[in-house]
Structure 1
């Protein structure tokens, strides 16, 4: 009995071992015979979603809310997630927010810098963690930026100056530029001066006031324009305002002197208030930068970089340290004659909203 029990027990052990060996052998052969790989096993953990970090200077302006929404929608359509943080003009906060996103292991970081110089710290911290950085619309200076996606910003300045010269080929000009800390503001001005300088040299145009606008704030543009008017006893023939926010400040100052609508004023960004001023006649033009195209282009490239794929460009922009690979889109001049065919036709603003004050 005892011998029979031992034999039976040994047979059971051998049976179990053979079963286990057969199962292992079957599992090993399964990968080559149509069985699902381990990674595809529904019981295994899902592959981690790619995450794109978006660090914004501000969400206090209409323009940047549109960028955020369009960029987020485009990234999510491509199957990735977006972590959005906005510093609202605070450099220390923007750096801290970027560090937070980096610590949460975003796969790529897209930055709209508040201060072009200070934001170099964000690039350095991202690279230490192996995260690539895209400079969105505004160029980060003195940093090893991986990609710059924007518009041809010197062309923006050229379009602004050309619009005014066509109306006022001679006279006193005022330049109300953007924030001195924003590299784009300097690029806009370079473009403006390409058009204006030959006329200044010839004596046709006199630049009687030239000032940057701290933080791009309309209230600061208003103060600058009041100073310009007082210094020149209202003898101002044309005003180049760098964007629609500063244009709003300029028009406000002109309105106080009953000059709104008689002194041409430029802008940029095609904000709704600016579009309304154009149809009312108090702002001459704006520069439309098709933000949907910018956001969707940047989103596609961000996901591509997050996946570890190489991005190639045919342009570079020097940021005082390196020639940054760049994608530069074309801006469009918008005035009373083509506003319907541009920003309204694109669905950027509805016709009802743009013409609300005129139609009523």
Structure 2
């Protein structure tokens, strides 16, 4: 009798263990399928580097608007790290705790984000690296502009202006940003083709524009380095925000006009400087298209809709699902066509100080 009781108890115990195991297995499956095949409300997290650069505010607004077009009930939680990578890690952990379905990230330092990315993937959260590469094989999509082409456009614009001494400076963003090295690659390629020497390179920390101004100031205050500064024909600035502080400092040193400056992002003040003849060119990126495309992918990821991405971005041994958008170099000649007609900035904003050439003015049709 005791033996029978033991057998029955053992059998019951096995049944209980099996049931509990099955329940846990179902919970895991249900949790994953809930994220992949969500019929209920979706939540998307967007972690930004900073909003000190005006461009990122446009990305944010367009992205949120597009998500709402796709699903009016969707939640988009936006977090701003103010250029601090530790704060960005905290922001991403907050978004993970909020059980977002997709994380879109403008990374500050992809190496330092690896731990929190791994944590997100354990929660089955899709990861979109927005505009800047996150070096992690678990990234589900890398979406950006053709940054090598950006560097080539900057270099060609300077060469087109004429570089009699064939010497230029580079003042770029931080080395941690993959875009910086890609832009630099394109810039160097064109400069080599044209026999132009890059006499010095400076990398700003966290895209700090004041750092760029300090670099110019330090060159000028050092007797030997001042000779180098005064011998150059142009400066490639990593973005228009950096170009702003560099041009301000050049103005103080009475070097504006003697040294040609290029940037990127088509910031309003850069466009104003271009029509005034103070800055040579900028690079226009269809921010609306980038943000809208990223939003479409984020929505599909969140809803569990199958997405086919054929293009790949190779970085060492890893290749990432990749979406790349083209860029447009902007000078005084095509300011109307690219910036004004697209609605990126209004004519009144750009030509706030006048300077609309007669030749351009004749071609304008209201």
| Alpha-carbon distance between aligned partners in 1 of 2:280 and 2:355, rounded to the nearest angstrom | 19
Quick one: which of 67, 70, 73 aligns to 1:78?
A: 70
Quick one: which of 56, 60, 81 aligns to 2:52?
A: 60
Give the 5 Å matches for 1:174-253: 174-199=169-194, 204-229=195-220, 230=222, 231-233=225-227, 234-253=230-249
Change (3 A) 1:358 1:168: same
Q: TM-score normalised to the size of structure 1?
A: 0.82
Once the two structures are TM-superposed, the CA of residue 308 in structure 1 deviates from its matched residue by 1.2
Give the 5 Å matches for 1:164-183: 164-170=158-164, 171-183=166-178
| Alpha-carbon distance between aligned partners in 1 of 2:275 and 2:347, rounded to the nearest angstrom | 11
How many residues align? The count is 311
| Alpha-carbon distance between aligned partners in 1 of 2:110 and 2:159, rounded to the nearest angstrom | 30
Give a deviation string over 1:99-145, Cα, whole Å, max 9, x none: 11111111111001011221223321110100010000111114421
| Alpha-carbon distance between aligned partners in 1 of 2:246 and 2:46, rounded to the nearest angstrom | 32
| Alpha-carbon distance between aligned partners in 1 of 2:178 and 2:111, rounded to the nearest angstrom | 9
| SS of corresponding position for 2:289 | helix
**2:347 corresponding residue in structure 1:** 351
| Alpha-carbon distance between aligned partners in 2 of 1:122 and 1:318, rounded to the nearest angstrom | 23
Task: Give yes or no for the alignment of 1:312 onto 2:308.
Answer: yes
Change (3 A) 1:207 1:268: same
Give the 5 Å matches for 1:274-293: 274-293=270-289
Q: Is the 8 A contact 2:275 2:355 kept in 1?
A: no
| SS of corresponding position for 1:97 | helix
Greater gyration radius: 1
Once the two structures are TM-superposed, the CA of residue 47 in structure 1 deviates from its matched residue by 5.5
Q: Is the 8 A contact 1:318 1:324 kept in 2?
A: yes
**1:49 corresponding residue in structure 2:** 41
Change (3 A) 1:186 1:156: same
| Alpha-carbon distance between aligned partners in 1 of 2:174 and 2:339, rounded to the nearest angstrom | 25
Give the 5 Å matches for 1:145-160: 145-160=139-154
Once the two structures are TM-superposed, the CA of residue 315 in structure 1 deviates from its matched residue by 1.9
Q: Is the 8 A contact 1:172 1:236 kept in 2?
A: yes
Change (3 A) 1:194 1:359: closer
| Alpha-carbon distance between aligned partners in 2 of 1:316 and 1:249, rounded to the nearest angstrom | 36
Q: Is the 8 A contact 1:110 1:133 kept in 2?
A: yes
**1:93 corresponding residue in structure 2:** 87
| Alpha-carbon distance between aligned partners in 2 of 1:155 and 1:314, rounded to the nearest angstrom | 21
| SS of corresponding position for 1:358 | coil
Show structure 1 runs of 4+ deviating over 6 A. Answer: none
| Alpha-carbon distance between aligned partners in 2 of 1:339 and 1:73, rounded to the nearest angstrom | 27
| Alpha-carbon distance between aligned partners in 1 of 2:102 and 2:128, rounded to the nearest angstrom | 8
Q: Is the 8 A contact 1:175 1:207 kept in 2?
A: yes
| SS of corresponding position for 1:323 | strand
Once the two structures are TM-superposed, the CA of residue 227 in structure 1 deviates from its matched residue by 3.5
| Alpha-carbon distance between aligned partners in 2 of 1:162 and 1:198, rounded to the nearest angstrom | 10
Q: Is the 8 A contact 2:163 2:234 kept in 1?
A: no
